[in-house]
Amino acid sequence: MIDQLQPAQLQDWIASQAPHGKAVVLDVREPWEIETACVTAQGFDLVKMVMHTIPARLQDLNPDQPIACLCHHGARSMQVAAFLAQHGFSHVANITGGIHAWSSQVDGAVPTY
């Protein structure tokens, strides 16, 4: 099952996942997007991995670790979350609304684009 999280719900989700290890926010956007707007890791590890590289880099992720996927608005991150779940990742979430919603719900200093 893939949890659907609003950015404002992320910290509660991370707390609920604590028994499974430190959570990761997996930012799947393109490098130029990350340069334009990026989250600050607070209570989680931030991993930047462009969406199309994930199949080749799957071994770089821990399938037992909680992973919340992030993109611009939530569509790419949902595809990545589904891909991870299909490959045995058991604690996966999608951050709905992506970095755009993050700006309005969590950190207004993060620019929108």
Buried b (16+ CB within 10 A) or exposed e, 43-68: ebeebebebeebeeeeeebeeebbbb
Nearest Cα neighbor of 4 from 99, 98, 113, 72 is 98
Strands of the chain (E only): list them: 2-5, 24-27, 45-48, 67-70, 92-95
pLDDT band at 92 (very low <50, low <70, confident <90, very high): very high
Q: Is residue 77 part of a domain?
A: yes
Return the pLDDT at 2.
95
Print the domain residue range for 45.
Answer: 2-105
Amino acid residing at 95? I
Strand order in the sheet with 67-70: 2-5, 92-95, 67-70, 24-27, 45-48
Q: Is residue 113 part of a domain?
A: no
Average pLDDT, stretch 47-52? 98
Q: How many separate domains does the chain show?
A: 1
Q: Tell me the CATH number at 43.
A: 3.40.250.10
Return the pLDDT at 1.
82
- Hey, which residues are catalytic here? 71
Q: Is residue 112 part of a domain?
A: no
